[in-house]
Chains A and B, each alone.
Chain A
């Protein structure tokens, strides 16, 4: 009971954390510090509540008096909630500390306080979503979350592209919410109440409808392809610590929704898992291919979030297939891998967005082709980036490898066993995961090369300095957590075992993941890898070298290379962009060069979001062109709308009786 009370208290503090700052002058930093302090208090309370819960291990629930019609304020805590809560209480705190330097109130008097209010509200409402056990409370929290994310992401609303990205987000999130309304209304029809408690039996039609609605409604928030259209723009245009919070945590709320809904209803059909698996493969591969094609540092990271959501969907699909087939090993590896990847992605993506923020802070641009050579000026930032990149490419010894490793073994298991129990097509998920992995290496090598390595392509870099400790510490904490999970995942994996049992509704004692997948051995290998690298570096250091010389890059003897001749981000990705042209549709303006002394020409090549540009925008343009007659009813006067409601009610009364 205490644990839930602590967490509800934390939620309350997080929600109001931004408001006291409004009392301070908009040009002083005191208000912002107070906000950060409050978020810290809330997060510590929440984390201790989560810790208490894990120590005791009993599910707790609470019902408060609430006078709203239909709904109850019913909240509960279980292992599944705690996994997501741990992210919600860590990332906003780090983001808020980061914001102290990145978005100083004294430098942003016009919007700093607004950002503070909605940042706290976003964090608090996400935590409320996770503990809510009543449809109405859930949807209220969900809407607060969606709207505060809109306001937090569009603080720079004097900028046209920010406003546009904001509108796309708002429309997308509300189409999703519409599906959720439908889903919860059907839920109350099928179960007789708005209470979110597990149902033992349900007709396959009803359960299937709920699953599809959940997939679409929550899929918009999670950003699965092709419902991702809002994601790149919103992430790119938000302040970096808001992007970190949105990408690291808010997308996971979509995943949480799908996970929670599939926990509540029985898995009645095999197509659920297959659909999720296929969606995962599409999102994963297309997401990372789009990421390679971008030259905006934050858009690259945003598309790579879609890829990671795809990986999580592949794993969840495997778990659903396992639940249907009664294969508990698939469930454990799939679901455990999915949850671990949720946590891992929350950590390393926050790290990378914070990192991108510091680079943008220095460069005043998001175009990676303008950067280069930052490694010399910002060595610590560079090291943190490399750690984050290794983690996100799922390379050992960082945490990304751990989650993908579990998912891989689960996918491999689908081809063994007898004909009834095996599903060979699911193993194609492993091949997709391998493709995603190698494309991710391409994307992040491109990013590292263009931003940090080589020579500066821009004057500004010569004046760049190492980031301040306020920016570095949150990144360091993320990196340390990533490395910790990568080298010693056992404590985290034990928590996941409980969550998996809860989700799979298995009555058997928790199956030990260690039994299926020897994580302890992986820990040893990771340690050996790290120590061997350090050992060989020492040997190299002490190697009796003969007079080493430092000279310019050889460049095959070319005498006058310039910094513009380096391979840029676009040129690194060029071959892959061409190979995947059928997905990407790159648009380029190529000048015709003729004559012995051609004039100055400029070349331009961009990759826009295919789904937004080729499907959604034409559809809206079409609708805007052909549907204005419907606008007759939309007069912009509230009392007319009330009149419509009255008319409809009267019609319903007549028809109903």
Chain B
């Protein structure tokens, strides 16, 4: 029970902090002091207190989009275990629900963008649905590797699999899927080198360009949801990067918190040292993620 409460609290409260850490890391690389770690929280609170500007072109899809996305991702977050603890909701086949909740959020985000009738936002949705066609199969290769290692069909035992049954035979596949998963995480949460969350040059963006017309509380929900997505994906990645646990529960929770923060630093480092890819080269990066995961699978079952 306590585990579930801590899980939900972390899921709800921690995500914006990751954004703060990424920005701080980037500032540090750029030789600046940077905004406070808590700045994303202030931004979201500020947005929630503002009024909204709607486009007259839009319909209910535009308003419902961010909310469905948030709900879908929060439920997906309940399926992913943190540290050595079991997820609040776990059952056979929950990994499929996890992947398809991401699909549901994608459907509504892109439909809401197309609802504005602007070519910029159309461009963003077209890119989002296109790139997902590479990251989704890659994610399923990751699942297959984890299922093979753990012999289970549920996210909690699957993600604990590398920790419990670690052997030399699974080392190479796990490393390969970790690389693949890291690229998927960058693409899905729209970070450099796939997408640049800071630029205002609409022609080069994916996620930011889809939400150009959202404002006020709805935009606050969108910013929060983006952070939640990053948090969930880095939790998944953390299990594969850090397949060990310690004796004390409290230390394990701290390990989880600092681990996720470490991944945020890693994302910040990648953003500082790399440039965004040309849009037509993004599929190559995603295909390479797909190949990493596929080779991991082949190594394991050969």
Q: Is the CB of A382 within 8 A of B59?
A: yes
Q: Does B140 contact A (CB under 8 A)?
A: yes
Q: Is the CB of B118 within 8 A of A553?
A: yes
Q: Report the Cα distance A471→B216, complex, angstroms.
A: 39
The interface bits of chain B over 119-156 (1 if a CB of A lies within 8 angstroms of the residue's CB, else 0) are 11111011101101101110111011001100101000
Q: Is the CB of A441 within 8 A of B132?
A: yes
Q: Is the CB of B111 within 8 A of A449?
A: yes
Q: Is the CB of A409 within 8 A of B144?
A: no
CB-CB under 8 A from A517, the residues of chain B are 92-93
Q: Does A394 contact B (CB under 8 A)?
A: yes
Q: Does A372 contact B (CB under 8 A)?
A: yes
Q: Is the CB of B71 within 8 A of A551?
A: no
Q: Report the Cα distance A546→B56, complex, angstroms.
A: 18
Q: Is the CB of A445 within 8 A of B144?
A: no
Q: Report the Cα distance A394→B104, complex, angstroms.
A: 9
Q: Is the CB of B97 within 8 A of A438?
A: no
Q: Is the CB of A390 within 8 A of B75?
A: no
Q: Is the CB of B125 within 8 A of A549?
A: no
Q: Report the Cα distance A528→B92, complex, angstroms.
A: 18
Q: Is the CB of B125 within 8 A of A449?
A: yes
Write the nearest CB–CB distance from B294 to chain A, whole angstroms.
8
Chain A's closest residue to B93 (CB) is A409
Q: Report the Cα distance A382→B59, complex, angstroms.
A: 10
Specify which of B122, B140, B148, B212 is in contact with A556 (CB 8 Å cutoff).
B212
Q: Does A158 contact B (CB under 8 A)?
A: no
Write the nearest CB–CB distance from B280 to chain A, whole angstroms.
9
Q: Does B213 contact A (CB under 8 A)?
A: yes
Q: Report the Cα distance A416→B135, complex, angstroms.
A: 24
The stretch of B47-55, B179-187, B246-254, B258-266 that contacts the partner chain: B47-55
The stretch of B15-23, B61-69, B169-177, B189-197 that contacts the partner chain: B61-69
Q: Is the CB of A565 within 8 A of B119?
A: yes
Specify which of A521, A537, A571 is in contact with B122 (CB 8 Å cutoff).
A571
**Residues A394 and B51 in contact in the complex (CB < 8 Å), given A445-B110, A518-B92:** no
The interface bits of chain A over 525-552 (1 if a CB of B lies within 8 angstroms of the residue's CB, else 0) are 1001100110011001001011111111
CB-CB under 8 A from A264, the residues of chain B are none
CB-CB under 8 A from B129, the residues of chain A are 438, 441-442, 445-446, 572, 576
Specify which of B51, B55, B126, B144 is in contact with A551 (CB 8 Å cutoff).
B55
Q: Does B106 contact A (CB under 8 A)?
A: yes
Q: Is the CB of B133 within 8 A of A430?
A: no
CB-CB under 8 A from B243, the residues of chain A are none
Q: Is the CB of A438 within 8 A of B136?
A: yes
Q: Does A34 contact B (CB under 8 A)?
A: no
Q: Does B233 contact A (CB under 8 A)?
A: no
Q: Does A567 contact B (CB under 8 A)?
A: yes
Specify which of A448, A528, A533, A547 is in contact with B111 (CB 8 Å cutoff).
A448
Q: Report the Cα distance A415→B75, complex, angstroms.
A: 28
Write the nearest CB–CB distance from B215 to chain A, whole angstroms.
9
Q: Does B99 contact A (CB under 8 A)?
A: yes
**Residues A548 and B54 in contact in the complex (CB < 8 Å), given A409-B153, A438-B136, A521-B91:** yes
Q: Does A437 contact B (CB under 8 A)?
A: yes
Q: Report the Cα distance A427→B136, complex, angstroms.
A: 15
**Residues A441 and B103 in contact in the complex (CB < 8 Å), given A405-B96, A415-B144, A575-B130:** yes
Q: Does B72 contact A (CB under 8 A)?
A: yes
Q: Report the Cα distance A395→B148, complex, angstroms.
A: 25
Q: Does B257 contact A (CB under 8 A)?
A: no
Q: Mark out the residues of chain B between 106 and 120 whose CB falls within 8 Å of any chain A CB in the assembled complex.
A: 106-107, 110-111, 114-120
Q: Is the CB of A437 within 8 A of B114?
A: no
CB-CB under 8 A from A537, the residues of chain B are 64, 67
**Residues A390 and B104 in contact in the complex (CB < 8 Å), given A549-B52, A553-B116, A565-B119:** yes
Q: Is the CB of B93 within 8 A of A555?
A: no
Q: Is the CB of A445 within 8 A of B301?
A: no
**Residues A437 and B111 in contact in the complex (CB < 8 Å), given A430-B144, A431-B144, A548-B54:** no
Write the nearest CB–CB distance from B178 to chain A, whole angstroms.
18
Q: Is the CB of A448 within 8 A of B114?
A: yes
Q: Does B57 contact A (CB under 8 A)?
A: yes
Q: Report the Cα distance A396→B105, complex, angstroms.
A: 11
Q: Is the CB of B126 within 8 A of A547?
A: no
Write the nearest CB–CB distance from A383 to chain B, whole angstroms.
9
Specify which of A433, A441, A445, A543 is in contact with B114 (CB 8 Å cutoff).
A445
Chain B's closest residue to A567 (CB) is B122
The number of residue pairs between A and B whose CB atoms lie closer than 8 Å in the complex comes to 239
Chain B's closest residue to A408 (CB) is B96
Q: Report the Cα distance A549→B215, complex, angstroms.
A: 11
Q: Is the CB of A550 within 8 A of B56?
A: yes
Q: Is the CB of B132 within 8 A of A455?
A: no
Q: Does B70 contact A (CB under 8 A)?
A: yes
Q: Is the CB of B103 within 8 A of A554?
A: no
Write the nearest CB–CB distance from B136 to chain A, whole angstroms.
4
Q: Is the CB of A554 within 8 A of B212?
A: yes
Q: Is the CB of A567 within 8 A of B126?
A: yes
CB-CB under 8 A from B70, the residues of chain A are 536
Q: Report the Cα distance A553→B111, complex, angstroms.
A: 15
Q: Does A566 contact B (CB under 8 A)?
A: yes
CB-CB under 8 A from A576, the residues of chain B are 129-130, 133
Q: Report the Cα distance A571→B121, complex, angstroms.
A: 12
Q: Is the CB of A441 within 8 A of B57?
A: no
Q: Mark out the residues of chain B between 61 and 95 whose CB falls within 8 Å of any chain A CB in the assembled complex.
A: 61, 63-64, 67-68, 70-72, 74-75, 89, 91-93
Q: Is the CB of A431 within 8 A of B56?
A: no
Chain B's closest residue to A529 (CB) is B75
Q: Is the CB of B72 within 8 A of A393?
A: no
Q: Is the CB of A579 within 8 A of B130?
A: yes
CB-CB under 8 A from A382, the residues of chain B are 59
CB-CB under 8 A from B294, the residues of chain A are 431
Q: Is the CB of A394 within 8 A of B100?
A: yes
Q: Is the CB of B96 within 8 A of A409?
A: yes
Q: Is the CB of B59 within 8 A of A375?
A: yes
Specify which of B97, B99, B136, B147 is in contact with A412 (CB 8 Å cutoff).
B147
The interface bits of chain A over 9-50 (1 if a CB of B lies within 8 angstroms of the residue's CB, else 0) are 000000000000000000000000000000000000000000
Q: Mark out the residues of chain A between 421 and 463 whose CB falls within 8 Å of any chain B CB in the assembled complex.
A: 424, 427, 430-435, 437-439, 441-442, 444-446, 448-449, 453-455
The interface bits of chain A over 549-581 (1 if a CB of B lies within 8 angstroms of the residue's CB, else 0) are 111111110000101011100011111100100
Q: Is the CB of B97 within 8 A of A553?
A: no
Q: Which of B50, B100, B110, B151 lies at the interface centre, i.e. has the most chain A CB atoms within 10 A of its CB?
A: B100
Q: Does B202 contact A (CB under 8 A)?
A: yes
Q: Does A495 contact B (CB under 8 A)?
A: no
**Residues A551 and B54 in contact in the complex (CB < 8 Å), given A416-B147, A529-B75:** yes
Q: Report the Cα distance A579→B284, complex, angstroms.
A: 11
CB-CB under 8 A from A150, the residues of chain B are none
Q: Which of B58, B99, B111, B133 lies at the interface centre, i.e. has the most chain A CB atoms within 10 A of its CB?
A: B133
Q: Does A386 contact B (CB under 8 A)?
A: yes
**Residues A575 and B202 in contact in the complex (CB < 8 Å), given A373-B117, A453-B114, A551-B54:** no
CB-CB under 8 A from A103, the residues of chain B are none
Q: Is the CB of A555 within 8 A of B120?
A: yes
Q: Report the Cα distance A571→B116, complex, angstroms.
A: 16
What are the nearest 10 A-B pairs in CB distance?
A567-B122, A454-B117, A449-B114, A546-B51, A442-B129, A424-B301, A438-B136, A553-B55, A434-B140, A395-B104
14 intermolecular pairs with C-beta atoms under 8 Å apart:
A373-B57, A401-B100, A438-B135, A453-B114, A454-B114, A529-B75, A533-B71, A540-B217, A546-B50, A548-B52, A553-B56, A563-B117, A567-B121, A572-B125
List the interface of chain B (C-beta within 8 A of A).
Answer: 48-61, 63-64, 67-68, 70-72, 74-75, 89, 91-93, 96-97, 99-101, 103-104, 106-107, 110-111, 114-123, 125-127, 129-130, 132-133, 135-137, 139-141, 143-144, 147-148, 151, 153, 202, 212-213, 216-218, 283, 294, 301
Given A375-B61, A437-B136, A550-B54, 20 additional A-B pairs, CB 8 A: A379-B59, A386-B111, A390-B104, A415-B144, A431-B141, A434-B140, A438-B133, A449-B114, A453-B61, A522-B93, A552-B57, A553-B56, A553-B57, A553-B117, A554-B213, A555-B120, A567-B121, A571-B119, A574-B126, A576-B129
